[in-house]
């Protein structure tokens, strides 16, 4: 790892939406109800926030939520640790949201900026640290965490390159490949992290359940340990989802708050 100055910092912002039944995690309905899907959205955000704080113990990482819709800051303040910063980002085009987030994080004085998805609550903490370490090296560079569906779960930059978000077929399997093509156009050196999965459909939700309760890693074999998504696990316990044959609730599951009220 390259040496850093004492004030060097990498900002990581989750592209987050405040939980609302019928408006968040809609691809999980069915099998979930709209209320349950919104509850999972909240649990995912809480687990990802905890992951950012864990990563900050090993690298100079500052965690943020780049949130929407406008006016929903209270939702995040009530549910997330105060160490997680908030920045409202809400535009019609997803690429514009990502670019604004990168630009605004760098404008706040951070030396590198990373956008992170809100669909991977068990993403290994080590991958967040690896992303920050790569960006700490000298020179303009990027880091990409490809998702198994062809998108990406993470993109980090040291400069707000607008071209990285142009002519991208968002929400398709071409996103990661097109993003790498844009990096080649710019001449960026890109470090590619191991792939991970998004929890955005019923099959992925079952996979997440198996990972949390059966210890089944997404990719068998050696690799970084998944983050312990305790809020998501407790929610699965509390709901007792029959589709997963979830075991009886564990201590603490009964303390889950009203997770869908904004």
Residue 214 lies in a domain: no
Domain span including residue 95: 10-197
Residue 254 lies in a domain: no
DSSP-based helix, strand, coil % in the chain, nearest 5: 40, 15, 45
Measured CA to CA, the distance from residue 220 to residue 9 in angstroms comes to 33
Measured CA to CA, the distance from residue 242 to residue 236 in angstroms comes to 10
Residue 118 lies in a domain: yes
Residue 226 lies in a domain: no
Measured CA to CA, the distance from residue 105 to residue 218 in angstroms comes to 31
Residue 244 lies in a domain: no
Q: How far is CA 26 from the centre of its chain?
A: 17
Compute the chain's Rg from CA coordinates.
18
- Token output for 236: 């699965």
Q: Does position 261 have pLDDT exceeding 50, yes or no?
A: no
Q: What digits encode the pLDDT tens for the residues 204-253?
A: 999 999 899 875 555 545 678 999 999 999 999 888 755 565 554 443 33
Q: Does position 27 have pLDDT exceeding 50, yes or no?
A: yes
Q: What digits encode the pLDDT tens for the residues 135-184?
A: 999 999 999 999 999 999 999 999 999 999 999 999 999 999 999 999 99
Residue 39, domain CATH: 3.90.550.10
Q: What digits encode the pLDDT tens for the residues 41-77?
A: 999 999 999 999 999 999 999 999 999 999 999 999 9
Residue 177 lies in a domain: yes
Residue 142 lies in a domain: yes
pLDDT of residue 2: 42
Q: What digits encode the pLDDT tens for the residues 6-25?
A: 589 999 999 999 999 999 99
Split into its structural domains, the chain has a count of 1
Q: How many other CB atoms sit within 10 Å of the CB of residue 203?
A: 10
């Amino acid at each position: 790892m390259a040496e850093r100055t004492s004030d060097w910092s990498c900002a990581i912002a989750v592209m987050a939406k405040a939980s609302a039944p019928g408006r968040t995690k809609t691809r999980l309905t069915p099998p979930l109800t709209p209320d349950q899907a919104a509850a999972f959205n909240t649990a995912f955000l809480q687990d990802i926030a905890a992951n950012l704080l864990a990563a900050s113990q090993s690298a100079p990482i500052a965690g943020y939520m780049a949130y929407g819709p406008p006016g929903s800051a209270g939702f995040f303040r009530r549910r997330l640790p105060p160490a997680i910063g908030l920045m409202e980002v809400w535009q019609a085009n997803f690429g514009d949201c990502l670019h604004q987030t990168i630009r605004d994080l760098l404008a706040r004085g951070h030396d590198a900026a990373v956008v992170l998805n809100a669909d991977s609550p068990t993403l290994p903490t080590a991958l967040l640290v690896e992303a920050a370490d790569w960006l700490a090296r000298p020179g303009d560079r990027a880091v990409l965490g490809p998702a198994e569906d062809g998108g990406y779960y993470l993109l980090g930059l040291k400069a707000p390159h607008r071209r990285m978000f142009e002519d991208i077929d968002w929400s398709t399997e071409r996103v990661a490949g097109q993003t790498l093509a844009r990096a080649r156009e710019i001449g960026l050196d890109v470090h590619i992290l191991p792939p991970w999965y998004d929890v955005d459909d019923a099959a992925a939700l079952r996979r997440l359940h198996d990972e949390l309760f059966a210890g089944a890693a997404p990719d068998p074999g050696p690799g970084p340990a998944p983050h312990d998504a305790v809020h998501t696990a407790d929610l699965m316990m509390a709901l007792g989802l029959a589709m997963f044959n979830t075991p009886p609730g564990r201590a603490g599951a009964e303390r889950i708050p009203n997770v869908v009220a904004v």
